[in-house]
Structure 1
Amino acid sequence: MKAIYEKHNYSAAIRAGDLLFVSGQVGSRNDGSPEPDFEVQVRRAFDHLAGTLAEAGAGFEDIVDVTSFHTDPDTQFETVLKVKDDILPSKPYPNWTAVGVNWLAGFDFEIKVVARIPK
């Protein structure tokens, strides 16, 4: 993912006080290409998100707000919820906004979050 940030001149995350604003994470393979299996692509996006959160000393339990982007929400959302339930299985759940889009640079799912950084 670092190559993507450098190529397009943006940060994986920015800290503001005790909040971490994480840029959109996609389910790329090691070479940066989109993972073709949708569920695996979603899991890889969450894996990339976990790595970005960990670098700031945070984890999934620290997420307070989620925005996800979907190229075909009607057919994809059940899979996304399955993965989300594996990763965020208990309350309190973060706020979540899901947005249908027609382009994600070859990807079918992207997730961005705001998290609290633990003290």
Structure 2
Amino acid sequence: METKVKYMWVVVFVVSMSIAGLNGVDATHDYYGPCGKHDIEKEAQKLAPCTYAAKYRRAPVSERCCAIIEKKLNNPGCLCAILQTRTVYDAGVRPEVAVTIPKRCNIAVRPVGHNCGGFPFV
């Protein structure tokens, strides 16, 4: 009889852990941030070609920067999260200037009015 009880507890444990594991896999979409599984600080480093243009409103924007920004605009929430990272802050980027880059690049499809940390895209 004692063996059956031990066996039953093992089965209960395995079933409960399986259920918990399945729920964990289902709920991971809430765990990741606005950039999905990508590290936001590493994503911020990819915007290095835009640093000068994001500091000064009248600075020319390089073609490489425009290409990167156009790609990042597929997920404006991610771009906004990047603009609020420590990496961007340490680089001296001004978010109110950075949100003007899509317009300065003449990107046709941009999130006009999307609020990005208090600064709307233009």
Q: What's the TM-score once normalised by structure 2's chain length?
A: 0.31
The structure having more radius of gyration, on CA atoms, is 2
Structure ranking higher on relative contact order (CA contacts 8 Å, 6+ apart): 1
Q: What's the TM-score once normalised by structure 1's chain length?
A: 0.31
Structure showing the higher strand proportion among its residues: 1
